[in-house]
Amino acid sequence: MLKRWRLWCSYPAALLLLPLLPLIIRQGKHTRANTLRLPEASGPRQGHCPPQTGQAQAATSERQLLHIGESTVAGVGVRDTAEGLTAHIIRHWQQLGISSQWQIIAQTGINAAQLQQQLQQHLSQPNPALSPCTHLLVTLGVNDTTGFTRRRQWRQQLLALVQPLQRDNPSLQVAFTQVPPMQRFPALPRPLNYLLGLRAWQLDQELQHLCAEQGWRHLQLDMPLQPEWMASDGYHPNLAGYRLWGEGIARLLSQPQ
């Protein structure tokens, strides 16, 4: 209940930025027009990773990870998917002696509603890969933040994204990474970063409530977005950033729920 009050109290805080709205609009247009556009990572988007030689984890079956989301899942900021977020999660599991099959479904600029459509197209294929999967990891929120998706719509779209998979696979383990704290993105000037950071926080609060209701996991990492962890666009992680983020996610997923 306290967190709900915090969420509602955040809206008056947004009103404090109202006098700066003309500046924020100009900053938004300038940032959109001038931010460096980096490509998605090349390389395979599915594969198999056996446990590392000499490592063993008793009574551990193979994990099948379906990782879906936006540009960070597509590997923007690194050259190859082997350097991206999913790869570092799988690699950390490998070091623990866990065998994994994995697949990525992701696209730059995609929001929750568009991802739901893309996922349904994938599942409608005659033999979709990793169907059923054991773990679903969803990394979303930046494009719904910049698009100012309403909280109710965000909630409904996330339910529409996950529930069809859960109906077909009741034992599916579902996890969401937190909506990134956009106020820390180096590419965003002040006060634009304050507004987007506040909106990202609001969507993440809604996501936390939804995860608690549905029995999903919300993976929150306290990661200051330092410049040495960011790609040249100031918007996406680089190799070091993806490694740090991926290893943190893998540790959280390996803990009992």
What tens digit of pLDDT does each residue of 215-241 get?
A: 999 999 887 778 899 999 999 999 999
What tens digit of pLDDT does each residue of 51-107 get?
A: 876 655 444 568 999 999 999 999 999 999 999 999 999 999 998 888 999 999 999
Q: What is the DSSP string of 8-39?
A: HHHHHHHHTTGGGHHHHHHHHHHHHHHS--PP
Q: Is the pLDDT score of 9 beyond 80?
A: no
Q: What's this model's pTM, rounded to 2 decimal places?
A: 0.93
Alpha helix positions (H), the chain: 2-15, 21-34, 85-95, 112-123, 142-146, 151-168, 192-214, 239-254
Q: Is the peptide bond before 191 cis (omega within 30 degrees of 0)?
A: yes
With residue 218 as reference, give the H or E element that holds it. Answer: strand 217-219
- Protein fold of 2-35+47-254: Rossmann fold (3.40.50)
How far is Cα 255 from Cα 51, in angstroms, rounded to an integer?
Answer: 18
Give residue limits of the domains in the chain: 2-35+47-254
By DSSP bridging, strand 46-49 and strand 100-106 are antiparallel
Residue with the two structure tokens 């193979």: 62
